[in-house]
Amino acid sequence: MKNLKLIQLLESVLGKGKSTSGNNIAFFSPFTSHHKPKLEIDINTNTAGENPWHCWISDKKGRTISSLFKQMGLPKERFEQLAKIIESLRYRNNVETKTVTAITLPEHYAPLWHKKSTPDYRNAMHYLKQRRVTMLDILKYRIGYCERGEYAGKIIIPSYDDTGQLNYFVSRAFYKSDKQKHKNPKISKDIVGFDLTINWSQPIILCEGAFDAIAIKRNAIPLFGKIIQPALQKKIIEKRVRDIYICLDADALRNAIQIAERFMAEGLNVYFIQLQDADASELGFEQITEIINNTDILTFEGIMALKMDMLWT
């Protein structure tokens, strides 16, 4: 079902539209002069808040109306109007009822900034020192550990949303004899990792794990995997982030390319950080910062070169 408010907003910007196939409406393109309406927009907003569009003359295209408005250079007020409409559509069109799963830290979680004389505390701190995690990092990310319970012998790294509510946590064994190196909660990863620490007006860095983000230190968001989740993608677009660095391990090249293409289509400046034999947490702050500072903006030619490399590896 087509949304009248969205159509009215588009027509106030682009002029009268004409229905074409499916949910598409065609408008006269703002990017070129043509006697027929050649800018097609899918008016059916999906659950990710996307409305793919394409100008068939200039070949400009994108996945969201926000990216169209950016290329048109529209004022802030238009983006605010659009955000309200898209947000209501996303939830109305989402036929699946999402159950919010409450999450709490493990029962025996203890903060590591409270010093103890126990062997477990000393071994946990020794492990973090080996990973080059400082006391400032422990305080910033509220890192803890467990001496008892199902997470006994594990470091606990929480993630909080922008309101300070816990939205996820990861654990890592600090004893080599522990056969279960990782034990994470069985809940959705569709969250924004370390959201509470992020300054959205600055460039952001996407990385795989919590230890990678801690090593990078500055505005790093862990994916807790190799895939970017809808909640993070939505927030990046909503916050109108301009520069984004993608710092995934070498074995995640295909995923990294897909993420890069997605954000380049939105008009973002994308920087692709190529890691070879070590991840960000192994390199440490100084080395990874040097690599980041020497990374150039990714171009279409760069994307093609990465795809060719992928074919030959």
The residue count of the chain comes to: 313
75: Cα within 13 Å, side-chain hemisphere: 2
115: Cα within 13 Å, side-chain hemisphere: 3
Q: Which two tokens stand for residue 236?
A: 């990046």
> Domain 199-311, CATH 3.40.1360.10 — does that match?
yes
Q: Give residue-wise pLDDT tens across range 54-72.
A: 999 888 999 899 999 999 9
Q: Give residue-wise pLDDT tens across range 161-174.
A: 999 999 999 999 99
Single-letter amino acid, residue 292: I
Q: Could you state, in order of their start, the residue ranges of all structural domains in the chain?
A: 4-93, 109-173, 199-311
Predicted TM-score of the model (pTM): 0.66
Per the CB < 8 A criterion, the answer to whether 26 and 72 are in contact is no
- Digitized pLDDT (tens) for each residue of the chain, 313 residues in all: 456 788 889 999 999 988 887 788 999 999 988 888 999 998 887 777 788 999 998 889 998 999 999 999 998 888 888 888 876 665 445 434 344 567 999 999 999 999 999 999 999 999 999 999 999 999 999 999 999 999 999 999 999 999 999 999 999 999 999 989 999 998 989 999 999 999 999 999 999 999 999 999 889 999 998 888 889 988 998 888 999 998 887 666 778 888 888 888 888 899 988 777 777 888 888 888 888 888 889 888 888 887 777 666 5
Burial of 161 (0-12, 13-18, 19+ CB in 10 A): middle
Strands (E), 107-209: 109-111, 144-146, 154-160, 166-173, 204-207
> Domain 4-93, CATH 3.90.580 — does that match?
yes
Q: Give residue-wise pLDDT tens across range 79-93.
A: 888 888 876 665 445
